[in-house]
Structure 1
């Protein structure tokens, strides 16, 4: 796996403890962490995806935002996932989920990191079915 830039030690420990392959890449000047074979809840059309997280200049003082999935996720009930678009990362078409922290859940420098961002990604997986309840397959 590629390691094209260095992450803080806490992030490396978190990623290694996932037990999944991960890499850091620089694509068109943007820094990305990509975790492969990340498990997805059963209500989606596939059991795992690659998850990309953009690492902004200033991280970890400045926060992480959104998540990008390859292959694209679909709900198994046929309902569309809102606020998504395509983004090319490392030559592949990822699905960007436009999801953000809120005033009630802001980025906390010195507390938040990749582990808390992945907790938020898991929350977004579940929120999708709370905001738009699961229905019968189309």
Structure 2
């Protein structure tokens, strides 16, 4: 796994505790955290995949938002998942952007809280 840049120690510890492979890369002038072999809920066309999170240069002061999925997720029942139309090139692949936003609070929010929110977005998308 590549580690082109470091995250705060607490973030790296929480990522290691997830028990899935992760890496940090630089691509297209941006910094990305890639979470691999991420489990997805029942109701999606894939049971596992990768999730990318863009890490701003001034993180953790600057906030995280959105998530990018590879392969692209769809509901098995054919219903549309809102705000997922855009594609983002990352690391030579076209990732599906989930446009999700919230108010970032430095010192409260982190990579680990963002991962919790990603799981909530996945749950909401199948309800």
TM-score tier, shorter chain, comes to: over 0.9
Normalised by the size of structure 2, how large is the TM-score?
A: 0.96
Q: Pairwise mapping of residues 1-138 of structure 1 onto structure 2 (< 5 A)?
A: 1-84=1-84, 85-101=86-102, 106-130=103-127
Shift of 1:129: 3.3
Shift of 1:95: 0.3
Structure-1 separation of matches of 2:126 and 2:52? 22
Shift of 1:43: 1.1
Structure-2 separation of matches of 1:91 and 1:16? 25
Q: Which runs of 4+ in 1 moved over 4 A?
A: none
Structure-2 separation of matches of 1:69 and 1:128? 13
The runs of 5 or more residues in structure 2 that have no matched partner are: none
Structure-2 separation of matches of 1:66 and 1:98? 5
Which protein has the larger Cα radius of gyration, Structure 1 or Structure 2?
Answer: 1
Aligned residues: 126
Normalised by the size of structure 1, how large is the TM-score?
A: 0.88
Contact 2:44 2:126 in 1 (8 A): no
Contact 2:75 2:126 in 1 (8 A): no
The runs of 5 or more residues in structure 1 that have no matched partner are: 131-138
Shift of 1:49: 1.1
**SS of match in other structure, 2:45:** coil
Shift of 1:73: 0.2
